Amino acid sequence: MRPNGVRAASVRRVVNASRGRFSVAACTRAALDGRGFQQKLCVFGPVFVYHTAMDPRIERILPWTKKPHMDGYIHPAFDRVAQLLREQLSATPGGAAVCIYHRGECVVDLWGGARDAEGRAWQADTMSPSFSTTKGIASTLLHIMVDRELLDYDAPVSRYWPEFAQAGKERVTVRHVLAHQSGLYHIRQMVDRAQRMVDWDYMIQAIEQTEPVHPPGERTGYHGLTYGYLVGEILQRVTGKPFRQLVQEELVDPLELDGMYIGAPSEELYRAADLIWPSPSRLQPYLPRGFTRGLLGFSAPALNQGARLFGLELDVQSILDSLAPRGISSFDFGANATLRASIPAANGLFTARSLARVYAALAGGGELDGVQLLSRKTLRRAMRRQRRGSKLAVIPFDMRWRLGYHGVFTTQGSPRNAFGHFGFGGSGAWADPSRNLSVAMVVNAGLGTPFGDLRIARISAAALSAVDARPTTSRSGVPKPKRSSSSAKGRRAGEKSRGRTPRPRNIPAAKPA
């Protein structure tokens, strides 16, 4: 018997797969040997691979023994995704989860690393704050209401939200909002401090009283923090329901999602990963600490002129207005009070599995596992690239905006038909209907840009390569409906892909720490 204080919690992973059809059943067999070891059989590749992950307590004492904890399952065609995720977990602090759906089936479901600075392992049901990835979910809800004819993209917002018409906003349409062309990105001029963002009523009133910085449609300016209130209030007006209730009723319940909150209940917060910043000080979500003060120490015209030397048409003041309300450097996006609030542009708490299922429905023509989120007609309208304004603000390059989604970038280029939304710190999710593919990643450590970083770009590239190497079913537009399989293997795969937290048999469910 080992002393309790030094009980080895090594995990011996047996990884085995064939080149045949993906079998989820192979990922369910596990046994405990009663001495602190777990033996798991999971599908990763054509050979057996043994991996040992040490207990975090031992790693802190003997750091050279550290190897990245990683769990889950994967189709053998996507083994490059597993390799990349393991490399990323080895190179960066914190943890991550990746989930990929192809042709309506879950082919990748991996998680690993640490969920907090203490080194506690990321679990199958761990959720992570995902910043602007939240915007894609809010946008999807709005498209659902358009599909039900409760909203019209080209109708003025004031038709549904009468108080919005004041201060020169009567011509702003729903399309302007979704395409980031309403001229209402300047949150820094709307509120006196960032903490106001947790007060929905205050933010709505502030938006109602604000004059746009430009006529609607004139510019494309990223609404980094105000987007969610605009979309969310429109939805609340046409449905009469709170935004968080719409997330639950329209997405979580029908798709059987295991972790998707924009305004999380207190009893679910134990599943939230802690945000781990690269320095002890708390950093603001889009700009490094002190960056705002540094920029304000110079004149905006001087900084704009300097950017032109590098070929960028930079509007510094618009960046500050959109992304840096006063006090943002001390605003904690990972605090329980923040996660309990609804900030539909920036505080979604997600599992990668839930994000992937939502986007899998979009990739599959609006339907997944018999649940129809959108009609094909509305989906085509939603994914159509929008005409950009004559000038760019906030983001100095073309994001190829759709209606609430942007184009997708990978390290192997930008797939033409793909759309989604990435977030600060590295999270993101997207769909490609021409490939019937969805990819989602959540992380709890990193900075990057307001639209993710190279981690998700590399994962996405690996997913594209794997999909393009498989036999194809549709290569243009929204794919035709997939015929359901009646085989036992098909039924089992369907059961595993329905959003329930996958875990090997005989392994207890995750519990609060």
Which two three-digit tokens encode residue 359? 């986007």
How many whole angstroms separate alpha carbon 264 and alpha carbon 271? 11
Beta strands in 61-210 (DSSP E): 70-74, 95-102, 105-113, 128-129
CB 364 within 8 A of CB 371: no
CB 431 within 8 A of CB 419: yes
CB 99 within 8 A of CB 353: yes
Let me know if 281 is exposed, middle or buried by CB neighbors in 10 A (0-12, 13-18, 19+).
exposed
Q: Which of 128, 130, 132, 434 is catalytic?
A: 132
Three-state SS for 274-300 is CCECCCCCCCCCCCCCCHHHHHHCCCH
Which two three-digit tokens encode residue 126? 């761990």
SS3 235: helix
CB-based contacts of 157, cutoff 8 Å, min separation 6 = 164, 169, 172, 173, 174, 176, 177, 182, 230, 234
Helix (H) or strand (E) holding 431: strand 428-432
Q: Taken in order 269, 272, 277, 279, is the CA torsion positive or negative?
A: positive
Q: Please tell me the chain's helix, strand, coil percentages from 3-state DSSP, rounded to the nearest 5.
A: 35, 15, 45
Three-state SS for 325-392 is CCCHHHCCCCCHHHHHCCCCCCECEECHHHHHHHHHHHHCCCEECCEECCCHHHHHHHHCCCCCCCEE
How many whole angstroms separate alpha carbon 503 and alpha carbon 483? 27
Q: Given the DSSP bridges, would you call strands 219-221 and 260-261 parallel, antiparallel or unpaired?
A: unpaired
Which two three-digit tokens encode residue 216? 């609607």
CA separation, residue 419 to residues 12, 177, 210, 422 (Å) = 38, 17, 30, 10
Three-state SS for 252-272 is HHHHCCCCEECCCCHHHHHHE
Q: Is residue 132 among the annotated active site residues?
A: yes
Helix (H) or strand (E) holding 53: strand 49-53
User: Which residues form the catalytic set?
Assistant: 132
